[in-house]
Structure 1
């Protein structure tokens, strides 16, 4: 799924990152949550050029238009569900790594790599296999991954009493959704320690013009297109790793050891 509410300036880059996946058997729903006519025009053109892409326009929904996602999932045929924001980019093995994760669990995430406006990549580190982590997510304003790094089995989604729906005021949209999954009895959840996406989030880029954002996205897409470029992002993200934990909760093991463990995972990745 690819929800979008704004003009389509970054949309083609996000879609191209889906089309460049090593896994080619996918369907992409571009969900227009009250997006302007020019976004519909660009999305329709992208769909006309690739039969795996479908466009679903809606009037602006409550909050982030979460209810539209539930409607669209009713049309989906895939076993696994992933989502990308229109201003994020997937690395070519994103879906392959999610598939490896979801072969063993019902719900999980890859590591979230956030790109600062100055180009500095940072990992948000956490582990859904940890009971303490899941408890923190359920009870505190704690999250270490967003939709562009998450995945879940369709059968797990179908077990939810309520699927995607508007979050209550004061609760992040994705956190509200993750809590629904984690409340399921016998849910298998885990984190796969792979960096396979670049998150260029909007809230920290409000000072940038649309032209500047497009230029930044284009440059990041060019870097992601090469093995060396992806390796550089991963290396820098490891050096800048941030560990997300519940407020006032000490880390379970030293930060240096965390970096060493992550480095062993990534050093020969590609």
Structure 2
């Protein structure tokens, strides 16, 4: 891609805490098979050392842009909107949390999905503190699933496995905006797409990201969390280890399904 050509993807990485895991999430982006992207590291009231580390990382790649802001309402929704609406050039838009890791074919799978629909997700894998791997798998193409997400406080995917067409975003009455206190930020945004009948939506049943969720790691230091993500990144970098991890995820999912269908 020539520097003047628009990228296929705009990626937003929002961060509000110390930079311990930032490099790892970014490396999982830079290792993508599809390399046509721009990435904005959005510091939502993050400490000064986070912005400094982001700037250091950006010096190595002209596709990386750093935007530092004071802490915004909720989870920096207004900053996401500002960047998408005034700076982004990608045809497709994705997000990644600083404590998550993309599989190397994430953007490839997302491109295949968004070639077909306006909005959708790949599958995320919840990484338990003990190392267990749990697939979070439903089908956004199901009317029942879509209806449940619109009408209930229920969601099965986070920002790190979501993507949408820029044209679909531009067609919304309002894009990213602070969510009510009783509604998760991501679900509030997903509903804006899903409430519009003309917006097509689907799930691509491909493992997209490893997500070691913060609420289950409150007992861990940032250094311990960074060490955990370093080990996970090494596993998905190596083809054999990555294949073994993927097989483990699907095997666990099959066992969970068996237990559901045939309870003791």
When normalised by structure 2's length, the TM-score is: 0.91
1:28 pairs, out of 39, 53, 65, with 39
**Are 1:179 and 2:191 matched, yes or no?**
yes
RMSD: 1.7
Q: Give, in whole Å, the separation in 2 of the partners of 1:141 and 1:191.
A: 19
Q: Give, in whole Å, the separation in 2 of the partners of 1:222 and 1:111.
A: 20
Instruction: Tell me the equivalent position of 2:257.
Output: 255
Instruction: Tell me the equivalent position of 2:211.
Output: 199
Instruction: Tell me the equivalent position of 1:170.
Output: 182
Shift of 1:238: 1.9
Secondary structure of the structure 2 residue equivalent to 1:174: helix
**Are 1:2 and 2:4 matched, yes or no?**
no
Instruction: Tell me the equivalent position of 1:18.
Output: 29
Counting only pairs closer than 5 Å after superposition, residues 42-81 of structure 1 correspond to structure 2 as 42-74=53-85, 75-81=87-93
Secondary structure of the structure 2 residue equivalent to 1:138: helix
| 5+ residue gaps, structure 1 | 243-253, 260-270
Call closer, same or farther: CA 1:197–1:51 in 2, change over 3 Å: same
**Are 1:241 and 2:253 matched, yes or no?**
yes
Greater shift, 180-189 or 229-238, is seen at: 229-238
Instruction: Tell me the equivalent position of 1:220.
Output: 232
Instruction: Tell me the equivalent position of 2:8.
Output: none
Shift of 1:241: 2.8
Shift of 1:257: 11
Secondary structure of the structure 1 residue equivalent to 2:130: coil
Give the count of matched residue pairs.
Answer: 248
Secondary structure of the structure 2 residue equivalent to 1:234: helix
| 5+ residue gaps, structure 2 | 1-11
CA contact (8 A) 1:120 1:236 kept: no
CA contact (8 A) 1:122 1:236 kept: no
Instruction: Tell me the equivalent position of 2:3.
Output: none
Q: Give, in whole Å, the separation in 1 of the partners of 2:260 and 2:141.
A: 15
Q: Give, in whole Å, the separation in 1 of the partners of 2:69 and 2:195.
A: 29
1:85 pairs, out of 78, 83, 97, with 97
